[in-house]
Each structure stands twice: as C-alpha cells, then as structure tokens.
Structure 1
Amino acid sequence: MSESKLKCGCPDCQCEVDPQRVFNHDGEAYCCQACAEQHPNGEPCPSPDCHCERSGKVDERNITNNQLDDALEETFPASDPISP
C-alpha cells in the first residue's frame, strides 16, 4: 500500500480507499457503504479477498447504528417550546 492511499477505517479491513469512490462516516474514510456502517447486518466487504465483516471488533460494539438513530429521534424536537 502506498503512502498516498488511505486504508479503510473498518476494523480489520485490508482494502484501500479509492479517492474516486470514498465513503465518509464520522470523519473516517471507508472503502464501501457496508464498512462505513460497520456491517450492521453482516454485509460483506466488496473485495473478495477481504472478510472484515467477520471481525470480532465489529461485534464488540455496545450499541448499533440503528439504536443510535432511534435514540436521536427520541430527542427531537428538543428545541420546541412546551405546549400550553
């Protein structure tokens, strides 16, 4: 891997990030949408040689992205005044 290439931010992913097709999530660059979302349903990495979706590190997360989205939805409308 050359120094000008970015490594995917997914734990244990061996892929380089294509600058023409980068997926960004939380300030990190990923090689594909599945990696950017941390393989929530076990979606495979598009590279046939990489099996980062099987990484133990992905399964170690205490909370899923869907759970975060649900929690965020419950906080809205946080700025609206209380109805009389």
Structure 2
Amino acid sequence: MSTVTSMKCACDRCLCVVSLEDAVKKDGKYYCCEACANGHTDGSGCGHQGCGC
C-alpha cells in the first residue's frame, strides 16, 4: 500500500497540484493557497504560473 503525498487543489478552477504537507486545509479539503481555500472571495487567483483560476 502506498501513501498519497500530493493531490490536485480542491478548487474546481485550479490546476495546481499541492503537497499535503504544505497545503491549506479547510473543511477536510486541501488547497494550494488561501485564495482557493476561501473561494476567491476577493476575485484574486492563486497566482501560480500557468494557472488561470
């Protein structure tokens, strides 16, 4: 059996893969940043190169 160490950000629009160790955890889901975790309430994206969320 193997252990998952990274996964896609839980934000539907985001393309980022995040390390579970470094992820922002909210409501049992893993996000690449606070903007994604908060649902982009201020209109900003994650800011990671190549991602258009």
| TM-score category, normalised to shorter length | 0.7 to 0.9
Structure (1 or 2) with the greater helix fraction:
1
Higher strand share: 2
Q: Identity percentage over the alignment?
A: 38
TM-score (norm 2): 0.78
In terms of Rg, which structure is larger?
1
- Matched letter for residue 37 of structure 1: N
2:37 aligns with 36
Match of 1:21 in 2: 22
Query: What SS does the aligned partner of 2:35 have?
Result: helix
Partner SS for 1:24: strand
Question: Which segment is superposed worse, 19-28 or 34-43?
Answer: 19-28
Amino acid at match of 2:26: H
How far, CA to CA, are the matches of 1:10 and 1:50 in structure 2? 12
Give structure 2 stretches of 5+ with no counterpart.
none
RCO higher in structure (CA 8 A, sep ≥6) = 2
Q: Is the 8 A contact 1:8 1:14 kept in 2?
A: yes
Matches for 1:34-73 after TM superposition, within 5 Å: 34-52=35-53
Q: Alignment RMSD, CA only?
A: 1.6
Matched positions, count: 50
* Structure 1: segments with no counterpart, 5+ residues: 53-84
TM-score normalised by length of structure 1: 0.52
What SS is found at the alignment partner of 1:35? helix
Moved over 3 A (4+): none
